[in-house]
Chain A
Amino acid sequence: MRIALFSTCIVDAMYPSTARATVEILERLGHTVIFPKGQACCGQMHVNSGYFKDALPVVRNHVAAFLQEDYDAAVAPSGSCVASVKHQHPMLANRCGDDGLAADAEEVGAKTYELSQLLTDVLGVTNAAEQLGSYFPHKVTYHPSCHGMRLLRLGDRQQNLLQTVDGLEFAPLPEADQCCGFGGTFSIKNSDVSTAMLNDKADAIEATGASLCAGGDASCLMHIGGGLSRRGSQARTVHFAEILASTREKPLVIPEAQGGVVVLNGGTR
């Protein structure tokens, strides 16, 4: 298959290793990955903050960037960005009465998948160790991000992939389905409530005794990781794509905790 990568703005700028891991997995399966150069961001920050007018150019750019490329499926390592592309883009286009944009947005949205969705539903990956050679000998817990869980109905796709990684000890997270408190600009506007939610999530992660909390949304992981870091916790966050990309030959190296730094180095992949 020819697969267009939507890296998402936060992964592109802050977590390139997550995008590299995504490319690695897809190429390992024998697919061709392309990167539409015009892409930037899905615009959900603007939409969710009520800045519809400012969201529009961002949405237009995304739709145009992906419409002009030739590919079978687009993929992003982020549930919330995919949900935005699928649901918010047509909504916003209809809002401003741009039927052409709405049709284009529907077309792009229909071909866009979250990574675990693409792997499971389209590429038929049910066992990460067997089909991807994934090897990661660490104790890992997992937080299912809200938008993947409730807007995309990912169910246990991400968790299944993690649980089939060779050597991985899976530690279930108590009250996993509770929001971590990120919520985009909510984390700034209602920082106190957001922090209370974050602390409960961090408590739950620490209670598992896992050194890592995996997830499928870079922004939530940045939020949780930033909270763990501030507490001086030894636990860190990691995107599940990086775990899937890790093999015996090229293991994902977890750097020593330096004040709980959350960025993982993809080694020399």
Chain B
Amino acid sequence: MSVNLGIPAVRSSGEGNLFAHEKFQSAAKRELKNEQLRANLRHATHTIRDKRLNVVSELPDWEELRESGSRIKENVMARLPELLEQFEAAFTARGGVIHWANDATEANAIVTSLIRATGETEVVKVKSMATQEIGLNEHLESLGINAIETDLAELIVQLGHDRPSHILVPAIHKNRTQIRDIFRAEIPNASPDLTDNPKELAATARAYLREKFLNAKVAISGANFGIAETGTLGVVESEGNGRMCLTLPETLITVMGIEKILPRWEDLGVFMQLLPRSSTGERMNPYSSLWTGKNGPDGPQNIHLVMLDNGRTRALADKNGRSALHCIRCSACMNVCPVYERTGGHAYGSTYPGPIGAILSPLLTGITAEENSSLPYASSLCGACFDACPVKINIPEILVDLRAQDVEAQHSVRKAPTEMDVLMKGASWALSSGTRLKFLEKGLPAGRLLAGKDQRISWLPGIAGGWTSSRDIPAPPQSSFRDQWAQREKFQKSQGSQQSQQSQASQKPTGKQGE
């Protein structure tokens, strides 16, 4: 069946694991205290960051590739309904079955019924952001279906009863010793003498997973790409666990966000260059699996695809935020983000952390959902993410736009202005006229009194206390520049001299600091 995905009048919001349940500020404050986390994150992000820079700098046409990736995605967003129908026709013609899910609840229900139809109670999983977004594992578990993550890092997180904190490196917040402890406790046949040697750890996980692969009848995956022209799905991975899941079981169920469509087969050429280099800092990833429906008697015989909206059409309708849907989940933005590097992924609440999460989560759910309005403020707007993004998502610009949406939304429901509102209103009045600013600057000497003997201000009340908690403010000068300039002009006039003579910026040097 084909579905009209023209922008509906009432767009449903994303649900599932897309929410900050507490304000980013307070979550970050807590995470900052975790020294181990910060050390791990710093080491890991800097390592990946450097690798990415190396492999990106060796391509002379990297900027052109980024531009191509960005244009292709723009084109996809502009033509999404027709491309989805084209994909559906091609995928179905090759024996695939397609299902449309408006939100997380629908997607989970579809996947559950497909597994139930096989009679299985254990399934293997390929690492997938979409299934994390909808909370599929938790949903299946509540119904007595055990979904086993086969990506090593996802397995570590799952066995540790933890949450991923990074799109690419879900266990980035764990070190070798912590992983050894998890394996000892959770893997049935793990040696009690297991050390934290990476080789040993990998061998232990491998033995455990092999047995799962060989017995699995059902696999669940996400998809990096869906090619409209051919109806092909693609998964790009490093470990080969994905290849096992995609080829060994009888039933393969894929969950993919509707924005992952690429128009043509040849577009892969662009994205297969952009993704591995941006993501793992590799020239090419070890395993790229592509499948187009059913392939005769070989491989899975029941091929399903759940097409997930979950707030994507909502994001698509936001003309300033739309390009967030270009995201190919490479994680380059979080690896260069100074905020993410210090807080880690859990502070963002949502499945999508870091700079992309700070825009994507509120775009999918709406700015007023839970504490998602705090996410766009989780950035100093340094712009490192925009430079790193392989599909040129202008994250800083969208962050600012979402802040404006938040301010609007707050003002529409609030009667009394906040301290920030008052500050901004006052500053707007003061800073929209040279005359008014000049008048207010007459108060600078009073600020010098406030600074006192040691010529610094170390405490301020209210929200300004957020500054003085860790920073001083120097004593202000005796007079503003514009006053000094006016004095100079007066002096020059009285001398009958013209400008452009020797500069005498201030004619009454007092020799005092801050002059």
- A190 and B377: CB pair below 8 A? yes
User: Chain A nearest CB: distance from B499 CB in Å?
Assistant: 6
Q: List 15 A-B contacts (CB under 8 A).
A: A13-B480, A16-B477, A20-B505, A23-B505, A28-B503, A40-B436, A41-B437, A49-B403, A150-B384, A178-B338, A190-B25, A193-B28, A194-B380, A258-B455, A262-B474
In the complex, whether A195 has a CB less than 8 A from a CB of chain B is: yes
8 Å CB interface, A243-268 against B:
255, 258-263, 265-268
* Contact A39 to B379, CB < 8 A, known contacts A225-B474, A263-B514: no
A256 closest partner in B (C-beta): B513
- A196 and B476: CB pair below 8 A? no
In the complex, whether A57 has a CB less than 8 A from a CB of chain B is: yes
Q: Which residues of B contact A32 (CB under 8 A)?
A: 499-500
- A227 and B480: CB pair below 8 A? no
B505 closest partner in A (C-beta): A20
- B458 and A9: CB pair below 8 A? no
**With A and B bound together, what is the CA distance between A262 and B477 in angstroms?**
12
8 Å CB interface, B484-515 against A:
484-485, 499-500, 502-506, 509, 511-515
8 Å CB interface, B456-476 against A:
456, 458, 463-464, 466-467, 469-476
Q: Which residues of B contact A191 (CB under 8 A)?
A: 466-467, 469-470
In the complex, whether A113 has a CB less than 8 A from a CB of chain B is: no
**With A and B bound together, what is the CA distance between A16 and B475 in angstroms?**
13
Contact string against B for A residues 174-215, beta-carbon threshold 8 Å, 1 for contact and 0 otherwise: 000111011111111111111111110000000000000000
Q: Interface segment, A58-66, A125-133, A155-163?
A: A58-66
- A197 and B481: CB pair below 8 A? no
**With A and B bound together, what is the CA distance between A27 and B492 in angstroms?**
15
Q: Which 8 A-B pairs have the closest CB atoms?
A: A183-B380, A50-B403, A226-B471, A188-B466, A179-B382, A41-B431, A16-B481, A54-B428
- A35 and B382: CB pair below 8 A? no
- B475 and A261: CB pair below 8 A? yes
Known contacts A46-B428, A229-B456, then 20 further A-B pairs from the complex at CB < 8 Å, ordered by chain A residue: A7-B481, A12-B481, A23-B503, A33-B499, A49-B420, A50-B406, A51-B404, A146-B380, A179-B338, A179-B380, A181-B338, A189-B377, A189-B466, A190-B24, A226-B467, A227-B470, A263-B474, A265-B513, A265-B515, A269-B504
**With A and B bound together, what is the CA distance between A61 and B428 in angstroms?**
10
Q: Which residues of A contact B469 (CB under 8 A)?
A: 191, 195
8 Å CB interface, A5-53 against B:
7, 9, 11-17, 19-20, 23-24, 27-28, 30-33, 35-41, 43, 45-52
In the complex, whether A147 has a CB less than 8 A from a CB of chain B is: yes
Chain A CB within 10 Å, residue with most, of B379, B402, B431, B503: B431
In the complex, whether B29 has a CB less than 8 A from a CB of chain A is: yes
- A20 and B481: CB pair below 8 A? yes
In the complex, whether B176 has a CB less than 8 A from a CB of chain A is: no
- A58 and B428: CB pair below 8 A? yes
Q: Which residues of B contact A65 (CB under 8 A)?
A: 434
- B428 and A51: CB pair below 8 A? yes
**With A and B bound together, what is the CA distance between A150 and B395 in angstroms?**
13
